Amino acid sequence: MRFTLEVTMTNSEGALERLLGRLRQRGFGILALNADVSGDYASLGARITVESMRPVEAALKQIAKLYDVEQVKVHHAEQEHAKRQNQPAELCLSL
């Protein structure tokens, strides 16, 4: 399954590395990544497309556990969403 994560996190040392490492270690392959530091350098926004046989909820919960993470949203890829009628198109977890 392919989906996109939108993560907002504190721009602390190693924050992005932690995020990517957690995804890799938990079995989510990274297909695309775009990340920007905010104008005041305080926060970091990342949009990551990942692919995995594992459920999206696992990625969501594992990312939400990271101390730096303030919010994480998940968007299902279009074609996947069509197959998963019972799933919301977007899951969001604010911390």
Partner 1 sequence: MKGAEIVIRALEKEGVDTVFGYPGGAIMPLYDALVDSKLKHILVRHEQAAALAADGYARHSGRVGVCFATSGPGATNLITGIANAFLDSVPMVAITGQVATPFIGTDAFQEVDIFGISMPVVKHSFLVRRIEDLASTIHEAFQIARTGRPGPVLVDLPKDVAIAELDIVAFDDTPDETPARPDAHQVAIARQMIEKSAKPLVYAGGGIRIAGATGELRSFVDATGIPVVTTLQGIGSVPSTHELNLGMLGMHGTKQANLAVQECDLLICVAARFDDRVTGKLKEFAPHAKVIHMDIDPAEVSKLRAADCSIVGDVKVALNFLHVRPQIDEWKERCLSNKAAYEFNYDVKTEHVYAPKMLRQLSVQAAERETVISCDVGQHQMWVAQHCQFQSPEAHLTSGGLGTMGYGLPGAVGAQLANPNARVINVSGDGSIMMNIQELATIKRYNLPVKIVLFDNQALGMVRQWQELFFSERYSEVDLSDNPDFAKVAEAFGIPAIKVDKPDQVDDAIKQILESEGPLLAHVMIDPRENVWPLVPPGKSNTEMMEAKAV
Q: What does the per-residue mask of binding to partner 1 show for 23-62, with x meaning CB under 8 A?
A: --x-------------------------------xx--xx
- Tell me the site size for partner 1, rule CB under 8 A: 13
Q: Backbone dihedral region of 25: left (phi > 0), alpha (psi from -120 to 50 degrees) or beta?
A: alpha
For 85-91, which contacts have Cβ atoms below 8 Å and span 24 or more sequence positions? 91/56, 91/57, 91/60
DSSP, collapsed to helix, strand or coil, labels residue 55 as coil
CB closer to partner 1, 2 vs 18 = 18
Which residues bind to partner 1, rule: CB under 8 A?
A: 13-14, 17-18, 21, 25, 57-58, 61-62, 64-65, 67
